[in-house]
A and B are shown apart, each in its own frame.
Chain A
Amino acid sequence: MNKYRADLHIHTVLSPCGNLEMSPANIIKKACEKGLDIIGITDHNSTRHCKLVSKLSELAGIFVLMGAEVTTREEVHCLTFFENDSKLDEFQRYLEKHLPSIPNNTEKFGYQVVVDENEDIIEQIDFLLLSALDQSIEQIEKKVHSLGGIFIPAHIDRPSYSIISQLGFIPDDLLIDGIEISANCKTRSIMPSIGNQLGKSLIRSSDAHYIQDIGKVFTTFDMESRTFSEIKKALHNSMERNVSIA
């Protein structure tokens, strides 16, 4: 088995709150500097930058988990990841179908731009990506799993936009592949809220919106190699794979 250092929650310049420096190329460069082996690309309710980051990462030797940070109807943020381009594309269509058409105010929320590998802007997204989808957390979980994806409630210790703040506790029967805590969270403090989901893997990620935050915290994946299915096995402590946090 090998140990891999992963930061699975990184925003790009596509997220309105993502700093303009967060271009795909800069993210890869910083991830290399920080010694990360795996990064998750998770813009708010959009997967549009994932493929470019994934393409650019090949030369750098970094494995990219492609997905999005989805906002459920209850305003719970959840990380979602998909194995390949076609599943990612289907989930992108789902996101576009269920995101309300509320125009973005760039002065208040920031720009939402898609760039190419030369960092030239090729598209600006008009609708605010911070809005909540019109789908419940259960509906989104089912969609993600129907595509063989990974579904992880994000930063559950945060006082806003977390499953704990919005729903009080994690429902016993919600199918989750792990639980994310934020950079400074003390694991002991959140245990009571996890309830019957206590056996689930905890991951810790940066939720980086600024370049210097990438890799400031990380999760260690102990597994055979860097593939989507190995990552899934590690999250489920299956076949002697596992994940750990500092």
Chain B
Amino acid sequence: MQVKDIISTLELNLFGGSQGLNREISGGYTSDLLSDVMGHADSGRVWITLQTHKNVIAIASLKELAAVILIKGFEPDADMLAHAEEEGIPVLGTNEQAFEITGKLFNLLTF
């Protein structure tokens, strides 16, 4: 499954980084501690978080994550979005909280 495939199913907004919509998804990772993601997320994961700092993209790029989903209606900081465009990492958004969107993505990828 690619990033573009989850957008309509999960009713996500696309904030930016659309060059990366063809990235393959290997799974998901839900965490708001960037150090935790840096240490433990595997490549190809979709990262679900409420952090909107530009370091999110630096770490997503370093770990070769597939995309970032911002929860609860959070929007990326301007410099986060600029980095996402540069790096081609899709930044998506949902109004749901981490529990719901994580469950839906899990179901989508597993069943």
Interface residues of A (CB under 8 A from B): 74, 136-137, 164-169, 171
Contacts and interface: CB of A to CB of B under 8 A. Distances in A.
B53 A137 contact: yes
A74 B35 contact: no
Interface of B: 33-35, 37-38, 51-55, 58-59, 77
B51 A165 contact: no
Nearest to A171: B55
Contacts of A171: 53-55
8 contacts: A164-B35, A165-B33, A167-B34, A168-B59, A169-B38, A169-B55, A171-B54, A171-B55
B59 to A, nearest CB: 5
B34 A168 contact: yes
Contacts of B58: 168-169
A136 B77 contact: yes
B34 to A, nearest CB: 4
Nearest to A137: B53
B108 to A, nearest CB: 27
A136 B53 CA distance: 8
A74 B50 CA distance: 9
B54 A166 contact: no
Contact of A166 (B33, B52, B77): B33
A168 B34 CA distance: 5
Given A164-B35, A167-B55, A168-B35, 10 more contacts: A165-B33, A166-B33, A166-B51, A167-B53, A168-B37, A169-B38, A169-B55, A169-B58, A171-B53, A171-B54
Contact of A74 (B37, B38, B53): B53
